[in-house]
Structure formats: C-alpha cells, structure tokens
Amino acid sequence: MASRLNPYISFAGNARQAMEFYEQVFGGTLALNTFGEFGGEEQADKIMHGMLETPGGYTIMGADNPPGQPHQPGNNIAVSLSGDDADELRGHWNRLSEGATVTVPLEKQMWGDEFGMLTDKFGISWMVNIAQG
C-alpha cells in the first residue's frame, strides 16, 4: 500500500453523523470503529476512527475527541500520514519532529499499529499511523 496524506477531522461527539453525511455527499465506502471496540468504556459508542474512501479518490478521516481533549472548532483538522511503509513514515515522523511538540509518541497502540501525534514548529497538527502486517 502506498502512503496516503489526507485530512483528519476531530468532532465534538457527532463524528458518526458527520461521517455519514459526508458519505451521502461524496459516496464511497465508510468504515467506523468505536472506542468500545478497543476496550474504551467511557465513550464506548463514540467514534475512535472513521474513514470514508470515495469513488473520486478522496479519503476523509475523522473521530470524536477523546475524553479530556478540548474540541476547538476551526482548529479541529490535522494532517494524517498513513500506510505500511514503516521506513518512509518513520523518516517523515523524524523530520516533522524537529522543533515539534510531540503529544503522542510514535509507538505501538492498542489497535496494533504504530501511531504518533505532534504539532510541528509551524503549528500544524500531524498524525502518523504505520499499519502492522
């Protein structure tokens, strides 16, 4: 799989409705995973990760903000880098990390992939996900 770059939108508890709306607007295939599917009890029915892949080649990702993270409309979009080329994605992570604020270190997560989040030195939020196997 080639690496992909796409928007990742944070929602204040209405990610399911928003992602279903975008599916109606753009068409395509929508996959939704809840916090509960990965053992999160506090927001079990909320969306931990959603991905819409459209016939036109767009990919839109989104999720409900986890507990304790503020929702900031206007600042609720990050850039997502994902794929299975670990060397390429780690290289991007390492370069983006220079002068950045790392909010989640790039390491194995409960869903099995390596994942990290940071805000680069220009104030842009990035998420990197390296798919495992």
pLDDT for res 43 = 84
Domains with residue ranges and CATH for the chain: 4-130 (3.10.180.10)
Instruction: For strands 47-53 and 4-11, give the pairing.
Output: unpaired
pTM over 0.75: no
**pLDDT greater at residue 122 or residue 84:** 84
Angular region, 68: left φ>0, alpha ψ -120 to 50, beta rest: left
Most confidently modeled of 73-77, 83-87, 102-106? 102-106
Record the tokens describing residue 30, joined without a space: 């929508």
pLDDT in tens, 39-57: 878 789 999 999 999 887 8
- pLDDT exceeds cutoff 90 at 1: no
The percentage of residues in the chain with a pLDDT greater than 90, rounded to a whole number, is 48
